[in-house]
Each structure stands twice: as structure tokens, then as C-alpha cells.
Amino acid sequence: MKSFMDKDFLLENKPAEVLFFDYAEKMPIIDYHCHIDPREIYENRRFRDITEAWLEGDHYKWRLMRANGAGERFVTGDACNREKFLEFASMLPRAAGNPVYHWAHLELRRFFGCEKPLGPETAREVWDFCNDRLSRDEGLSVRGIIRRAEVEVIVTTDDPADDLEWHKKLAADKSFETKVLPGWRPTKALDVENAGFAGYVRTLGEKAGVRIESIDDLKTALIERMEYFRANGCRACDHGIEHLAWAPAADGQFDDIFKKGLRGEPLTTEEVEKYRYGLLSFCAGEYARLGWVMQLHLGVMRNINTAMFNRLGPDTGYDCVGITSGITGLAKFFDELELNGSLPKTLVFSVDPAENPAINTIAGCFHQEGVKGKVQQGSAWWFNDTGAGMEQQIINFAEEGVLGNFVGMLTDSRSFLSYTRHEYFRRILCNILGGWVDSGRYPDDMVYLGGLVQDICYYNSRRFFGFV
């Protein structure tokens, strides 16, 4: 019987050990999509205790605490931080098989040097140990954590109306080596049906110096803000879309729908889909012009518990896997962009693992000479970044495409301690490839295969996004 999470954790064969320890482990991290706050990086936040560092804003952990019967006061409420930590610790041993169980222990080990399994019996000791480290170790400030994890590039998630103040300050700070770049996410401009749409459009227009009264005005404002983001280092954009319908609008209809949205008039589902499709198509063409990578995160049903949404707001752990993200619409969307010569480099993520084959086969239909994997599936995302989910995504990518071109892992996280998810992914990747060598399905050429592993872990994303 192996020891709990020993050095060979998840590495089940000798070739996997070679690939991980000689090649994958040493690679820097490029976190090309996350939700961390650049202000906290610039100000080099120091956490007062392990609860602030670990549980604040982490809806992965919150979901498990609630599922274990915790009252909301121990999750997002007014319980003291020690009580919240003890509540989490009392749940964790019951979450066998959940990736949070492994991530939590990797975070304790890699950042705090704490190797005790966390549970109700050890919680107080772990609390004291980690808090002592936080109070004394400069390497556990936000910048210290980023340096310790060897993160080379961080791409945050930013609204087009953002002034990027903290990105500018970080870019001017020569004492910090990690690049922190903005990531364009125009969700509020796409959500024409939302009650706050008109107010947001006014704010966007003020930032762009454009009076927005028509769809052409909106496009002008978005182009101006894209150029502003480009000047501040932006290389990537992101869209979270529950369902992508192929819904081209007739002449004049796009503008009519936009103006109805500005007036706050009710819109049909068809009108919303036509507007979203039209604006996304416009944006994609601009991304291609700018050389940005377009990321599409598809299929999440958001805020399905209305009572808790009304109480806590979005991004608090009440989203789920949708039934369909609109695979037919995705294929037609790419086809139309390709016909117009405006298809950018693209990563597609879906929370439904059943869509892996469709995404990978669609991606194989769109390519460009000299570009490796121009359109490809992104890493196993959100509810799929489990051990089995990562294995399934990697194997399906390999079976339907060219695995050596895969741009690899990202955190998609609000936690600075989540960089250990890259280690989790790398161990799983090496175990799969090592298993193919061990079973005779791939040659025993560790030098070549090690280079392929380093490409997936680091070099591919560096080249794909243009971070060189």
C-alpha cells in the first residue's frame, strides 16, 4: 500500500515518474485565464489567517461545505474565520474522490509545508501551524505565493469599461517579474436582456468617449476599448455563454434589438440570441485583427437557486452543468467566421464532458497553415477538472487531434493558492503518456516525449497567446 500523496502521487508507472520529475515539474506556469484581483497583486496582500487565504471566494469549497450541511454563516456569513476553517476541516475527509480533497492537501504541502491530513482531529493543529507560517513567511504574501509557484504570466478577467489601473501599476513595477495582463470579457455588453444593460452601455460610452445610440456606436466604442486593452498588454478574450445559437439577424434587425435593449423593453429569446450572435461575430472579427485568442466557455446554467442568488449574488456556488451549449451553433459560427476570413485562434471549453468529441472534431475542421491547433478544446473545465475529467479530456483530445499542440492547464480561479492545480494536471498528463509507453502503445523515447510534455505544460500556451 502506498503512502498518502507520496512523491509518486498519481504516477502509476516508471515512465510517468521520469516524465513528471525530469520534464513537467520544472516548467513555469502560464495561467492564461483566472479571476484573481490584480490590485491584490500590486498591493502584495498579506492574509491574516488560513481562512482568508483558502476559503475566501472559493466556491468549489463552499459547495462542499453546504452539501455537508454547514449553515451559511460558516460559508459566507458572520462566523469567525476559525469557525469557518473548522467547519471546512470537518467536511474534508468525507469528500473522498472530490478533487478539492487533493487540491487542499497539495496546497497545504506546497505552500505551508504541512503534511498532516486535514480533518476534525487535526484541524486545530493545522490552523495554528498555517497561521504561524502566514505571520512569519514573506513567501506567503500574494507576490510570494506567485513567485513560489513560478508563475510567469497571469491573465485576469476584465470588463471593457475597466480603466486597468492596477495592470498599469504592475507593468511599471520592475520589482515584480511575473507579467499580469488584462483579459477582455465583454459579458455585460452581450447581455442585452439584463435590467442594467442601458446603464452599462452609458458607462462604456463614457469610457470610450462615444455617445452610444446605435449598434454602430457600440461597435465603435468596443473597438476603442479593445485598442486600449491592446496597448496595456491584452492578448486574450473570454466569453461565458450558456447556449450558443446560430442566429444571424436580418438587415436592420440587429440595431433594432439593441435599441429595444437600451429602452429596457422586453425581448424574446430569439431576439436575445440574434443580438448575442451578431455582437459575438463582430467581436471575433476584431480579435482576429488584433491577433487575440478567443476563449469560449460554454454550457453553464448560472444562478439556478434563485433564493440564494437573491441573498448572495452571482459566483457564489449556485451554477451547474447545462444540458447543451449549442454545438450546432458553434460549428456554424466558426464556418461563418472562416468564410469572412475573421476566425481568430480559439479555445473552446464546455462543462458537459459528453461534448468533448464534438468539440474536438469541430476544431479539426478549422485550421491555418503555420498555426498549430488554431482551434482546439481547452482543458477540462470547472465541474470537469476532476481526475477522471482531466483524463477523459486529454484522451479525447489525443484520439481526435494532435495532443502535442494542446495549450494545457489554467486555474480559472479566484484563489492565489490554486496554482497546485497545474501540478495535479501535470501528474495526470504524465501518467497517461507514461502508461502508453509502459503498455507499448508509444515508443520508449523519453527525450522526445519529455519535450512534448514541456510543450503542453508551458511552451504551447506561450507561443499560442504570443507571450514570448
Instruction: Note the pLDDT tens digit of each residue in 106-135.
Output: 999 999 999 999 999 999 999 999 999 999
- Whether 356 and 249 share a structural domain: yes
Residue 1: inside a domain, yes or no?
no
The one-character DSSP state at 20 is I
Tell me if 434 is assigned to some domain: yes
Q: Which of 99, 118, 140 is the last residue of a domain?
A: 140
For residues 20 and 66, state if they share a domain: no
Burial string for 326-341 (b: 16+ CB within 10 Å, else e) reads: bbebbbbbbebbeeee
Q: How many domains does the chain have?
A: 2
Q: Is residue 417's pLDDT more than 90? A: yes
Q: Does the model's pTM come out above 0.75?
A: yes
* Averaged pLDDT of the chain: 96
Same domain, 124 and 270: no
pLDDT of residue 324: 76
Model pLDDT, residue 389: 97
* Structural domain ending residue among the three candidates 140, 166, 182: 140
Q: Read off the CATH number of the domain in which 132 is found.
A: 1.10.2020.10
- How far, in Å, CA of 222 to CA of 208, rounded? 8
179 and 63 in a common domain: no
Question: Are 72 and 189 in the same domain?
Answer: no
Would you state the cell numbers that stand for residue 20, as one nine-digit string?
A: 513528471
pLDDT value at 144 more than 80: yes
Residues 6+ apart with CB under 8 A from 303: 309, 314, 318, 319
The per-residue pLDDT for 266 is: 96
Which residues are within 8 A (CB) of 335 and not within 5 positions of it... i.e. 6 or more apart?
A: none
> Starting from the edge strand earliest in sequence, which strands make up the sheet with 345-350, in order?
183-184, 236-241, 293-298, 345-350, 375-377
Tell me how far apart the alpha carbons of residues 251 and 354 are, in angstroms, rounded to a whole number: 36
Residue 175 shares a structural domain with residue 313: yes
Answer with the one of 113, 140, 167 that is the final residue of a domain.
Answer: 140
Q: Is residue 8 part of a domain?
A: no
Q: Rounded to whole angstroms, how far apart are CA atoms 212 and 196?
A: 15
pLDDT above 80 for 325 = no
Co-location of 372 and 447 in the same domain: yes
Instruction: Give the domain extent around 83.
Output: 47-140
Q: Is the dihedral of CA 283, 285, 289, 295 positive or negative?
A: positive
Q: Do 256 and 237 fall within a single domain? A: yes
Choice among 72-76, 166-170, 325-329, 384-388 with the minimum mean pLDDT? 325-329
pLDDT digits (tens, 9 = 90+) for 222-256: 999 999 999 999 999 999 999 999 999 988 999 99
Judgement on whether residues 286 and 330 belong to the same structural domain of the protein: yes
Q: Residues 375, 440: one domain?
A: yes
- pLDDT of residue 468 exceeding 80, the answer is no
| Distance of alpha carbon 224 from alpha carbon 47, whole angstroms | 38
Residue 2 in any domain: the answer is no
> Looking at residue 57, what is its pLDDT?
87
Cell of 173: 513595477
What are the residues whose beta carbons fall under 8 Å from the beta carbon of 84, sequence distance 6 or more? 51, 55, 74, 75
Report the pLDDT value the prediction gives residue 323, as an integer from 0 to 100. 78
Q: Are both 383 and 259 inside the same structural domain?
A: yes
Q: Using CA atoms, how far apart are residues 363 and 386, in angstroms rounded to an integer?
A: 23
